[in-house]
Amino acid sequence: MAGSASLRLPAVVGSSALASAADFATDRAAAAAASAVPAAPGALALPSNAVPRATSGAWRPAALFSHALVALSLLVLAFVAACALVPGWLAPQLPTDMRSDAILQAPGLAHWFGTDQFGRDVYSLVVFGARQSLLIGVAAVLIGSTLGVSLGLLAGYAGGWLDALLMRATDIWMAVPSLLLAIALATALGPSLTNTIVAISVASIPRYARILRGQAMAVRSRAFVEAARAAGASHLAILRGHILPHCMAPILVMATLGIGSAILAGSSLSFLGMGVNDELPDWGYLLTQGRGYLTVAWWTVTFPGLAITALVVSVNLLGDALRRRLDPRAAAR
């Protein structure tokens, strides 16, 4: 019986293998037959290995809308940059031209944005005020990011007691709201363009330092940094040539988004009378000049406010697009 069972076992195994092979051949034949069926007229022929995505129709409109917003933001920034560089080419009048016969005129063909309480053309004021607002945003971000990145890289790379000392100081720094700190510094320094930039820059330093410290701690233990250290590279060379380049993506995103925050902070200081206060006022000071005439001349504050909103929203949209571009996880989605 044992011998007969052992003789039947290979036959059973062989029949199972033949059955599996037959099923596999049947499936392959069915797939080939299905692919051989001619497509209907007008139908789109897909490759045999193409797998349709369920979300392919969902992300395309969103991507097109996002690209359109980025293009519109670039146009707004280009126009603001032109206003800041060559305001005389775009403004029909100088911001110091006052006409007693055109006080508080409504928007029209002669004055696109109307006139203010001094008879000045509001459109010309908005065009000439773009230089101050844009300069505050860009200069404050350059100064604040440079100092903050330096502190963050030093703390994250050095570690130990220096890291603890710098980060505790940064925590105390961040305990005060940035706008409140900027107001306090602007009050102590006095109202001017330079003091406004300094106040906003100092208030933004801790944010860059905290983020870059974490980035430097993540990079300093990688193999290429250890190899550079073993090859005898100095600490400054390692920071400049190996760690800083790998931290550029968050720096660029934070700096782009920080421009919008700096412009808002500068406008807030000017609105409170602590920012730019000269014959070429920025958009925030235009708001504080026209707020007393809001009920009778809405255009004196509406158009400067719209200019601030358009610039800040455009910068934030570009910063968000840059974040999605540089973030691998966002790009994968």
**Unique residue bearing structure tokens 């560089």:** 85
pLDDT of residue 52: 44
Mean pLDDT on 34-54: 43
List the domains of the chain with CATH numbers.
Answer: 120-332 (1.10.3720.10)
Question: Cα(207)–Cα(137) distance, rounded to whole angstroms?
Answer: 16
pLDDT surpasses 80 at 7: no
Q: What's the Cα-to-Cα distance from 17 to each of 10, 22, 27, 121, 125, rounded to whole Å?
A: 10, 8, 15, 91, 87
CA dihedral 128, 133, 134, 138 (to 10 degrees): 150
Q: pLDDT at position 275, please? A: 81
CA 197 – CA 205 distance, rounded (Å): 12
Position 81 pLDDT exceeds 50: yes
pLDDT for position 67? 81
pLDDT of 229 higher than 80: yes
Q: What is the DSSP letter of 97?
A: -
The pLDDT assigned to 328 comes to 55
Confidence of residue 329 (pLDDT cuts 50, 70, 90): low
CA distances (Å), origin 296, targets 98, 101, 151, 277, 308: 19, 17, 51, 24, 22
Of 140, 137, 183, which is closest to residue 275 (Cα–Cα)?
A: 183
Q: What is the mean pLDDT of residues 46-63?
A: 50
Beta bridge partners of residue 121, listed in sequence order: 115
Contact 139, 196 (CB under 8 A): no
Distance CA 172, CA 271 (A): 28
Taking only the tens place, the pLDDT of each residue in 8-35 is: 433 333 443 434 444 444 444 444 444 4
* Ramachandran area for residue 181 (φ above 0: left; ψ -120 to 50: alpha; else beta): alpha
CB distance 121 to 93 below 8 Å: yes
For residue 121, the SS3 value is strand
Average pLDDT (206-234) is: 87
Give the count of beta carbons closer than 10 Å to the beta carbon of residue 65: 10
**Bridge partners, residue 115, by sequence:** 121
Lowest mean pLDDT among 6-20, 90-104, 124-138: 6-20
Q: How far is CA 296 from the centre of its chain?
A: 38
Task: Return phi, psi of residue 183, to 5°.
Answer: -65, -45
